[in-house]
Chain A
Amino acid sequence: MSGADNVVWLGTPPFPEAARAALADTRLRANLRRATGTIRDRRLAVTAELDDWEDLRETAAALKRRTLRHLDRHLLRLEETVTAAGGTVHWAADAAEANAIVTRLVRATGENEIVKVKSMATQEIGLNEALAEAGIRAYETDLAELIVQLGGDRPSHILVPAIHRGRSEIREIFRRQMGKWGRPAAEGLTDDPRDLAEAARLHLREKFLRAKVAVSGANFAAADTGTVVVVESEGNGRMCLTLPETLITVMGIEKVLPSFADLDVFLRLLPRSSTGERMNPYTSLWTGVMEGDGPQDFHLVLLDNGRTATLADEVGRQALSCIRCSACLNVCPVYERTGGHAYGSVYPGPIGAVLTPQLVGVENAASLPFASTLCGACYDACPVKIDIPEVLVHLRSKAVEAKRRDRILPTPEALAMKAAGAVLSSPRRLAALQRLAALGARLVARDGRIGVLPGPFARWSGTRDTPAPARESLRAWWRRTREEGRTTRNGKSR
């Protein structure tokens, strides 16, 4: 599987179709409503505690904007400082290149298995699959990622990749699959969260103690010191970051921050926005290698994979400010109903709807910018103030332009829009249409309501009555009652 195929999962139907299937899954709906509701309330409570929350957001947004403007400079500085601290920096233009680099590095150690701390970048490039092809087995150690991996599944949330699973499902997955990957679950495993966590702990401990190589993602990297940061809740990440001899970090190039001091703002914003906690339990920072302490060989793979192209788009580039907190998913009314799989990408929800089409080219994910009502809840929740609705409509126009370019004949929608545009830019034509609609409505409407509509409106009218156009438009009423002289002159009777 190549990288682009992994940002957008092959075989996933367009959003409306995938969403339909998800909506039919009542257990999924219930899991999602409960989980997103809980996190949403917690986030509101802990952000309300800070008097300077809005200032923090503004500071973070400005910092990200500034960093992105000079991204090249900060990345070169990061390469310098990481190298000076004893690490090795690799540049990967795309998924294939990144996978090849990591595969080569693991092979060089002579190992055929690795442990991983949750990383969206490696999901994005399909690293586990690429390693498997090279005969290397990758074990996910984040609890939710472990559930996803054992279940032969895909992540459906940025922060809680297994949010779509209930605990009885998790018990079944553990019972059936753990033995195939390592230490099996204990006999008589219940679906009590404590029991499930203990099973995962025992299963993973064996891996931590054995692994010589680890692969991680990164939440941030400070260019001035060469420090890489991973933020997590369980401590499994810290096991990966400290126990193995070799540590390979795959990081999207947008994660760099100019200085160590900038972490201050983001480490305050991230946990409150993502888990609704004042502070997350584990924050690991490391700078190169230190003799006798932690991994003795450190590699940083800087991944582009569509990010430079995204950076070139003045409106769309703000999506690169994302710190993957998932606040936008948790407040999104569309995500809450469909879950993450319907987005067909490793990046679901509102941020996925703007990030994915940019990373893979809008023509390859054309339904995603339309997977939103533009209600704006995501914009209000975003700790770095990404104007997601603005980017969505921007990408919609790009999707429409791409279709215009690629097709010989215009789509029915384009024809309808053109016709509507002609009517709506002329008051004369609009008035004529209003008269016609009023006449037509009188023929089909009952009690001022229309039942079933044709064509693209059929699905609307399946669940909703449609009001009939008024017998007299406001325009006509105004002329009749307010501009009498004129109507008389035209010889019309009242």
Chain B
Amino acid sequence: MRIALFITCFNDMMFPRTGRAVTELLERLGHTVEFPQGQTCCGQMHFNTGYRPETLPMVRRFSKVFAGYDAVVTPSGSCAGMVRDQHRVVAAQLGDAALTEAVERVVPTVYELSELLVDVLGVTDVGAHFPHRVTYHPTCHSLRMLRVGDRPLTLLRAVKGIDLVELPAAESCCGFGGTFALKNADVSNAMLADKMRHVLDTGAEYLCAGDNSCLTHIGGGLSRLRTGVGTMHLAEILASTEGSVR
């Protein structure tokens, strides 16, 4: 299958290793991965902060750059949610009929990583090996915008050597929320404190999630407190094999 990787602007700059992991993983499963160099950003930050007209060029660009692939995969639940739920809204409100049409064509091909693996490629055991104690945080957008359900957990359970432990109050928000963490820093910190407590309660070595933005928030707190708990994107665990050390 010819799959385009939408890495997202944040991962591109901060977590290229997640993009490399997605690529390795999909190629290992026998697929062709392409990286359209014209890609930029889904526009979520602007849209969610109220700067709607500013998102229009990004929506336009996305629908053009990612047209024509069998599938578009992104290792970010929240960016996938933005594309799927909000690009239509922007196109309808600020764009033209041609844009709406382009958005409608591309949106059904866009998948978050676990959806692509389980629903489209039909794999739940990707042949990964990760001998560590891991707990999984289902990020809000994966959980409630995309409804990925237990797909990520199904994938994780099949990983060899993994000791997967349940995260208490897993479904409660970590307090990141994009610009919320800046605009309402104190509330965000209070939410983070509870999330960190739950992570520490599991005794996990790694906190795993399908979104690096939430992991940056939680991981930033865990790092500041010198807890020794690392964060790792789902893609990186799934890409790990017996021969590779992550």
Contact = CB atoms under 8 A, between A and B. Distances in A.
Interface in A372-388: 372-377, 379-380
B210 interface: no
A456 B182 contact: yes
Given A375-B173, A460-B181, A478-B35, A424 B40 contact: yes
Contacts of B180: 370, 372-374
Contacts of B11: 474
A470 B40 contact: no
A421 B13 contact: no
B186 A23 contact: yes
* Residue of A15, A29, A469, A473 with highest tally of chain B CB at under 10 A: A473
Contact of A424 (B43, B178, B188, B192): B43
A469 B20 contact: no
Interface in A333-361: 333-334, 337-338
Contacts of A181: none
A467 B184 contact: no
Given A421-B57, A430-B40, A475-B35, A337 B17 contact: no
A479 interface: yes
A167 interface: no
A399 interface: yes
B202 interface: no
Given A337-B190, A373-B140, A467-B216, A417 B37 contact: no
Given A373-B177, A424-B40, A393 B144 contact: no
A373 B175 contact: yes
A457 B182 contact: yes
A477 interface: yes
Interface string B40-84: 110101111111101101100100000000000000000000000
Contacts of A427: 37-40
A170 interface: no
Nearest to B221: A464
B183 interface: yes
A61 interface: no
Decide if the interface of chain A is mainly helix, strand, loop or mixed: helix
B33 to A, nearest CB: 9
Interface in B189-243: 189-192, 216-217, 219-221, 223-224
A333 B47 CA distance: 22
B14 A19 contact: no
A23 B188 CA distance: 11
B102 interface: no
A29 B193 CA distance: 13
A262 to B, nearest CB: 29
B153 interface: no
A492 to B, nearest CB: 15
A201 interface: no
Contacts of A373: 140, 173, 175-178, 180, 188, 191
How big is the B interface, by class? 35 or more
Interface residues of A, number: 64
B154 interface: no
B184 A449 contact: no
B20 to A, nearest CB: 7
B187 interface: yes
A464 B191 contact: no
* Residue of B171, B181, B184 with highest tally of chain A CB at under 10 A: B184
A372 B19 CA distance: 29
Contacts of B175: 333, 373
A493 interface: no
B185 A460 contact: yes
A176 interface: no
A192 to B, nearest CB: 31
Nearest to A433: B13
A393 B47 contact: yes
A418 interface: yes
B209 to A, nearest CB: 14
Contacts of A376: 140-141, 143-145
A158 to B, nearest CB: 20
B162 interface: no
A396 B49 CA distance: 6
A425 B187 CA distance: 31
Contacts of B50: 369, 393, 396-401
B150 interface: no
Contact of A469 (B13, B58, B140, B141): B13
A466 interface: yes
Given A15-B184, A374-B177, 10 more contacts: A373-B180, A374-B140, A374-B180, A397-B50, A421-B55, A421-B58, A424-B43, A425-B58, A425-B61, A427-B40
Q: Which 7 A-B pairs have the closest CB atoms?
A: A373-B177, A464-B220, A396-B50, A459-B185, A376-B144, A400-B50, A474-B16
